[in-house]
Amino acid sequence: MATLLYNNRPARAFNSVLSEMLRDTLPALNEPVKTFVPQADVLEGPAGFELHLLLPGVAKEDVKIDFQDSQLTISGERKAPESTDEQTPKFRRVESGYGSFSRSFRLPDTVEVTAIEAELTNGILRLQLPFDSKKVTKHQIEVR
């Protein structure tokens, strides 16, 4: 197979060439995105479920957890660093998301809603969702 030359250089990977062609046509990502969707892991053990939500840089005061009609909703805001003067560094490349977020999970009737515990440590929100046969339709969970 013949080698394709471009400006006397061997051919580069297609995505590299495409990125170079589109660089000037796409908007620059030098400002934070206004919303993001935190990643979630759900584990099941003998005592109940455990939900992990990745929330790096989010303060526990900025997280709200509600339960209503079998729906657990976790919402909040990850605040972007603000540059107020000339000495503060400005964004040159942004790959992480900032702004408001909301994730909802439908819980089975076997979860005891009044016993749900939430803890935010090192950017990971951990919720313990213990099993029970009681059914609760509305409850707010406080983050420790």
Given the structure tokens 């409850």, which residue do they identify?
139
Residues 6+ positions from 1 with CB-CB distance below 8 Å: none
pLDDT digits (tens, 9 = 90+) for 52-107: 999 998 999 999 999 999 899 999 998 877 766 676 667 777 777 788 999 999 99
3-state secondary structure of 38: coil
33-80+98-135 sits in which CATH class? mainly beta
Helix then strand then coil, in percent of the chain rounded to 5, is 10, 45, 45
- 3 state SS of 105: strand
pLDDT band at 119 (very low <50, low <70, confident <90, very high): very high
101 contacts 77 by C-beta, under 8 angstroms: yes
